[in-house]
Amino acid sequence: MPENICVIGCGFSGAISARILAEAGYQVHIFEKRNHIGGNAYDKIDENGIVIHPYGPHIFHTNNKRVFKFLSKFTTWRFYEHEVLAYVDGKEVPIPINRVTLSEIYGKDFTEKGAKLYFSENAVKITNIRNSEDNVLASVGEDLCDKIFRGYTRKQWGMDLADLDASVAARIPTRTNDDCRYFVDDFQFIPANGYTALFEKILDHRNISINLNTDYFDHRDSNNYMHTIYSGPIDKYFDYQFGKLEYRSLNFKHTYIPNLNYYQKVGTINYPNEYDYTRITEFKHITGQKCTGTSIVKEFPKSHGDPYYPVPRPRNNKVYTEYYDLAKLEQDVTFIGRLAQYKYYNMDQVIASSISKTNILIEQLKKS
- Percent of the chain at pLDDT exceeding 90: 93
User: Which pLDDT belongs to residue 71?
Assistant: 98
φ/ψ of 94, rounded to 5, equals -65, 145
Which residue, among 84, 10, 122, has the nearest Cα to 299 in the 3D structure? Answer: 84
User: Which pLDDT belongs to residue 220?
Assistant: 82
The two beta strands, 227-230 and 309-310, are: unpaired
- Per CATH, the architecture of 4-73+191-243+311-367 is what? 3-Layer(aba) Sandwich (3.40)
User: Which pLDDT belongs to residue 171?
Assistant: 73
Kindly give the interhelix angle for 132-140 and 112-122, rounded to the nearest 10 degrees.
Answer: 130
Neighbours of 322 (CB within 10 A): 14
What would the mean pLDDT of 100-124 be, rounded to a whole number? Answer: 97
pLDDT tens digits along 248-295: 999 999 999 999 999 999 999 999 999 999 999 999 999 999 999 999
What is the dihedral sign for C-alpha 88, 252, 190, 258?
negative
Rounded distance between C-alpha atoms, residue 231 and residue 335, angstroms: 6
Q: Could you give the dihedral angle defined by the CA atoms of residues 42, 229, 356 and 341, in that order, rounded to the nearest 10 degrees?
A: 80
275 Rama sector, left if φ>0, alpha if ψ -120 to 50, beta otherwise: left
Confidence check: pLDDT of 137 > 50:
yes
Confidence check: pLDDT of 118 > 50:
yes
What would the mean pLDDT of 89-111 be, rounded to a whole number? Answer: 97
- Mean pLDDT for the chain? 95
User: Which pLDDT belongs to residue 141?
Assistant: 96
Q: Where in the sequence of the chain do the CATH 3.40.50.720 domains occur?
A: 4-73+191-243+311-367
Going by pLDDT thresholds of 50, 70 and 90, the confidence category of residue 2 is: low
CA R_g for the chain: 22
Q: Is 69 exposed, middle or buried (0-12, 13-18, 19+ CB in 10 A)?
A: exposed
Give the global pTM. 0.95
Confidence check: pLDDT of 1 > 70:
no
pLDDT tens digits along 308-342: 999 989 999 999 999 999 999 999 999 999 999 99
pLDDT tens digits along 221-256: 777 899 999 999 999 999 999 999 999 999 999 999
Instruction: Say if CB 235 and CB 242 are below 8 A apart.
Output: yes
